[in-house]
Amino acid sequence: FLRTKVGAPLAPFECWLLMRGMRTLFVRYRQQCGNALAIARHFSSHPKLEGVLYPGLATHPGYDIAKRQMCDGYGGMMSLLVKGGFEAAKKFCVSLKVIVPATSLGGVESLAEHRKAVEGPQSPVPDNLVRLSVGIENVNDLIADIAQSLDRIS
């Protein structure tokens, strides 16, 4: 009965990996949150962006709720709205050098994903939305990478 409700038990090695990762989770999460907030603030008024969607910015519609509920940071996820539509967002993603274009969330490496290219034309996601999962790399490297990629958009 229990196995059908909660799943199969982990093998010893997987348990060890889980415990090892849990010991550093807060440190990694705090770094991701700090990096994401720094990136959001840095690019919040960039001329090649229509906007930065991050709950840690006072301009975000959910900021007041996030401020009350997210007491240990605002997370490592954000979205950039790139001026120039679908093609500009696509070019932004392929021009990144440190941030990897990939679909995943919450890892130690920073990832970017052009949502419309993944979901297809029927998706209600804006053509110019790029989702960033911010990792624990040096924040100055991440900011420089985003800046050089935005510079490549005409």
Specify the number of domains making up the chain.
1
Q: In this structure, is residue 3 part of a structural domain?
A: no
User: Order of strands across the sheet with 49-53?
Assistant: 49-53, 77-82, 129-133, 111-114, 100-101
Q: In this structure, is residue 2 part of a structural domain?
A: no
C-alpha to C-alpha distance for 37 and 42, rounded to whole angstroms: 8
Q: In this structure, is residue 4 part of a structural domain?
A: no
Q: In this structure, is residue 43 part of a structural domain?
A: yes
pLDDT (0 to 100) of residue 75: 95
User: Is the alpha carbon torsion for 98, 36, 148, 93 positive or negative?
Assistant: positive
Q: Which domain holds residue 95?
A: 10-151
The pLDDT of residue 79 is above 90: yes
CATH of the domain at 70: 3.90.1150.10
CB neighbours of residue 78 within 10 Å: 23
Q: In this structure, is residue 139 part of a structural domain?
A: yes
* The two three-digit tokens of residue 127, written as one number: 């053509």
Q: How confident is the model at residue 1 (pLDDT cuts 50, 70, 90)?
A: low
pLDDT (0 to 100) of residue 151: 98
Q: In this structure, is residue 55 part of a structural domain?
A: yes
Q: In this structure, is residue 1 part of a structural domain?
A: no
Q: In this structure, is residue 141 part of a structural domain?
A: yes
